[in-house]
Structure 1
């Protein structure tokens, strides 16, 4: 109930300030598990997606957003909790596995789970190669994947900016991708790579971004 109330109020304020263009909402199933796989341009992406989607969205956020001291720390914790964020510590392989397990539990419960296959924000606006965690979620859960194209969010809060700016944005939801069958004949690693590449190609068609062709190896800030 708290999530729904906070999302409605925040969504109305966001639409007044930023007048976002939202396309393809009908592509998100009204019920059942679904994975939202998006490009990642800005810290505010994790605010934009939950506010654009009519269903409750769960996503991973750095544990530091929940543990900060003082008034700022309490505000950050309240905001991310209201948006449906799940705190996770990042840095080791074990933590990456734990993060994916959180996603699988959300999908098993019939929820919406959002993930950035690039792993972290693009430093230059290009679309970086996807990591195969998104494929692991899709192939293990059987949930459809809805590709999400975010356009212009980097102008709201560029990397290094402390405060958000007013700028128009576009959020595009592509047609659901079904990976529940057709990959059993492939070895696990090959199947995950193929699925991930198909998802990234769908995101690129939505955004028109130049493909970097490499992984984004910079420090993971968000």
Structure 2
């Protein structure tokens, strides 16, 4: 990072962030071993990190990598959580991003996201929207939210994939399996190339194409970590089965 980037990121490393880091990072190091690969690919300044989602503990693993890489991790959360007496204060102190459903105020989410990116923070998004339902834990078909945010803000999109966290806490499990001590691997992929799409009108075709590139980047990263060939088809949550990859549709 340049000195300017460090200064920018530092504006977001509030006492709340530093306190969370002091508590969370040593705990994660104690619970699991880790192998972080490709950290040099993290860009300078603000960026959007897209990640595969296998278990409820994933956010800690991804946030840890982002923080070690020099940036502050920021997640999107329901705006109702920000109204809770204690939790809301914590979320605001850590400058997390409220997802505002009210159309009259929804622009505030984008404004806060842009502010985070401008100050050198990282927005972590799970394009699938939830834990994968794929029976073999491959990334599912993604929603267009990550692509829309990237194309609207101009921020680079970096795929961060991991494998092994689910050995400690299986999908949808409430009880971890700490023994024997588990180890996960995490890799940072190449920035998703969206340059040719950024100058085009933000229609269905552009969003679909950008989303498919994000899907492909996540699937390729998981395949590399698993040492396996990815399925030819992708899991569609609505249909509860694997379907052909997204077919780009013409703009309306």
TM-score (norm 2): 0.69
Distance 1:145 1:52, change over 3 A: same
Answering whether residue 187 of structure 2 is matched by residue 163 of structure 1, we say: no
Q: Which residue of structure 2 lines up, in the alignment, with residue 103 of structure 1?
A: 113
> Do 1:144 and 1:177's aligned partners in 2 also have CA atoms closer than 8 Å?
yes
Q: Which residue of structure 2 lines up, in the alignment, with residue 60 of structure 1?
A: 76
Q: Secondary structure at the match of 2:129?
A: coil
**Partner Cα separation in structure 2 for residue 44 and residue 106 of structure 1:** 23
> Do 1:127 and 1:212's aligned partners in 2 also have CA atoms closer than 8 Å?
no
Paired residues, what number?
Answer: 211
Q: Which residue of structure 1 lines up, in the alignment, with residue 8 of structure 2?
A: none
Q: Secondary structure at the match of 1:128?
A: coil
Q: CA deviation at 1:163?
A: 3.0
Structure of greater Rg: 2
Q: Which residue of structure 2 lines up, in the alignment, with residue 34 of structure 1?
A: 47
Return 5+ residue gaps in structure 1 as ranges. none
Instruction: Tell me which of the two structures has the higher relative contact order, counting C-alpha pairs closer than 8 angstroms and 6 or more residues apart.
Output: 1
State the Cα RMSD in Å: 3.3
TM-score (norm 1): 0.77
**Partner Cα separation in structure 1 for residue 105 and residue 142 of structure 2:** 18
Q: Secondary structure at the match of 2:130?
A: coil
Return 5+ residue gaps in structure 2 as ranges. 1-14, 224-229, 240-252
**Partner Cα separation in structure 1 for residue 83 and residue 123 of structure 2:** 23
